[in-house]
Amino acid sequence: MSWLIAFGVLNTYNELARTVIRALTALTEPVFRQIRRVIPGIGGLDFSPFIVLVGIWFLEYVLVWAEARYLYQTTV
């Protein structure tokens, strides 16, 4: 999000944008903080958002696979 602010895509002078930024930060920062404890930033890059996305995609894959397997077993 800092890139969007730095390049002027998000105008922080707008009250609505500022509220959205605060809400997103409040929602994501606790999760990112836990990951940053284990994997600190490397060369100024923060990999915690990437790790969270990969984790969500993996969880989605596992849940869809489990659901498909369950549905297949109940129909056979």
Region label for 8, one of left (φ > 0), alpha (ψ between -120 and 50) or beta (otherwise): left
Could you tell me the pTM of the whole model?
0.69
Query: Is a pLDDT exceeding 90 seen at residue 31?
Result: yes
Question: Whole domain around residue 61: which residue ranges?
Answer: 2-75
- Tens digits of residue pLDDT in 47-66: 999 999 999 999 999 999 99
Query: Which span out of 36-45, 52-61, 65-74 was modeled with the highest average pLDDT?
Result: 52-61
| Number of compact structural domains in the chain | 1
- Tens digits of residue pLDDT in 2-14: 777 777 777 778 8
Between the CA of residue 26 and those of 7, 65, 73, what are the distances in Å? 22, 31, 41
The stretch 14-37 carries a mean pLDDT of 91
